Structure 1
Amino acid sequence: MSGPDPTSLLSLRDWRALGEETDVRSELQEGVRIVTPRPAKRHIRAVHRLWNALEGAAGEDYEVLGEIDIVIDAHTPATVRVPDLVVCAATAPDNLDAAHVLLAVEVISPGTRRIDRVMKRSEYADAGIAYYWIVDLDGPRLTEFTLTDGQYTGHEHIGEFTTTVPFAFEVDLRLLTR
């Protein structure tokens, strides 16, 4: 199978031609393929528990998805991110772009702290994703960002986290690390 020219920046078409990967986790940042190892057990456990809690609160109108490609910018050079979790309308199409995402959630791993806190925060805000949560398992703590006038404003939560957006939801953050 032939792929795109590795010396040029990838388009969205090139990215999709790569197919699914199971041994690594990759994203596309302004046409450059970024590869990281799969997350550790602690990270996966926390994502799974948060996914279950969100799904239980979401109701029929929403869908909670994990590790799905989100097209942030389709123009070449393209940007495609893979949040740990997203919430979208249950009627959203199979191929999601940022306009379909109501909430993006990232659980910080040792190698993704700056990417999650700076790069993705900026990209998600520019793409218009209304809500962005960053979960730091060292605490544990959740920073809840809301998009206001094109910028995220945030509040940090430790212990219990309760919100009404994008739907009523509450979780004891300590349960994510047990």
Structure 2
Amino acid sequence: MTAEVRRNHLMSLNEWDAMPEDMCRRHELVDGVLQVIASPFPRHQRAATKLAYCLDEQLPDHLTAVIDVDVALKSGMRATVRRPDVVVLSVENYGDGDRHLDAADVLLVVEVVSPGSERTDRVVKPAEYARAGIAHYWLVELGDPFSLTAFELVDDVYKHVEGGTGTVELTRPVPLTFDLDALLRRR
């Protein structure tokens, strides 16, 4: 099935789901408006991929980490679908054949900040993720030094709870340890 993309038309979640997969790959849907997102730089993609792998290796068996998937934050005629860099969810909610993940099934979203996405990743997306009720949000900065800031949803607002540079030990949502500097190393 295909969907027609029309200008001056607010898309619903059903219309989003009907779009061809290759059309959605570099788009997000924000309040019903289709937005083109830039392809990530190679260092951004490497960091996100390695972080997802490190996460997946350390997560308990009932959780998994995936990259570059659609997460429906809001449905209806003014739907919002974001594509976080990394998502953690329960294994039972992964791979059920749906086009998108529902925010209610997501435990953690991770955004790796790239040039041009700073405001969106630091301000806009956290507000949307919080409204959708996603319990944990991490922000990874690839500056000098690399840093990870972990937030937890408290009273509908993200509060900074943990983070750091170099080797980071986290307790939320589960105990995890990362060498942030290794995210860009090949091996």
What range is the shorter-chain TM-score in? over 0.9
Q: Deviations over 1:34-76 (max 9, x none)?
A: 1122111101111111011001001310011111110000121
Q: Could you tell me which residue of structure 1 aligns to residue 120 of structure 2?
A: 115
Does structure 2 retain, via aligned residues, the 8 Å contact 1:23–1:38?
A: no
Q: Which segments of 5 or more consecutive residues in structure 2 lack a partner in the other structure?
A: none
Q: Which segments of 5 or more consecutive residues in structure 1 lack a partner in the other structure?
A: none
Q: Could you tell me which residue of structure 1 aligns to residue 174 of structure 2?
A: 167
Within a 5 Å distance, the mapping from 1:38-49 to structure 2 comes to 38-49=39-50
Name the SS of the counterpart of 1:15 in structure 2: helix
Q: Does residue 1:90 correspond to 2:91, yes or no?
A: yes
C-alpha deviation, 1:22, in angstroms? 6.8
Q: Deviations over 1:117-168 (max 9, x none)?
A: 1110100011110000010101201111110111101144111211122222
Q: Could you tell me which residue of structure 2 aligns to residue 142 of structure 1?
A: 148
Measured at CA, do residues 147 and 23 of structure 1 come closer, stay the same or move farther in structure 2, by a change above 3 Å? Answer: closer
Stretches of 4+ aligned residues off by more than 3 angstroms: none
C-alpha deviation, 1:113, in angstroms? 0.8
CA distance in 2, matches of 1:166, 1:153: 14
Q: Could you tell me which residue of structure 2 aligns to residue 127 of structure 1?
A: 132
CA distance in 2, matches of 1:140, 1:4: 39
CA distance in 1, matches of 2:7, 2:74: 20
Q: How many residues are paired up? A: 178
Name the SS of the counterpart of 1:125 in structure 2: helix
Does structure 1 retain, via aligned residues, the 8 Å contact 2:163–2:170?
A: no
CA RMSD of aligned residues (A): 1.7
Aligned-residue sequence identity (percent) comes to 40
Q: Deviations over 1:89-114 (max 9, x none)?
A: 11115331110000000001112111
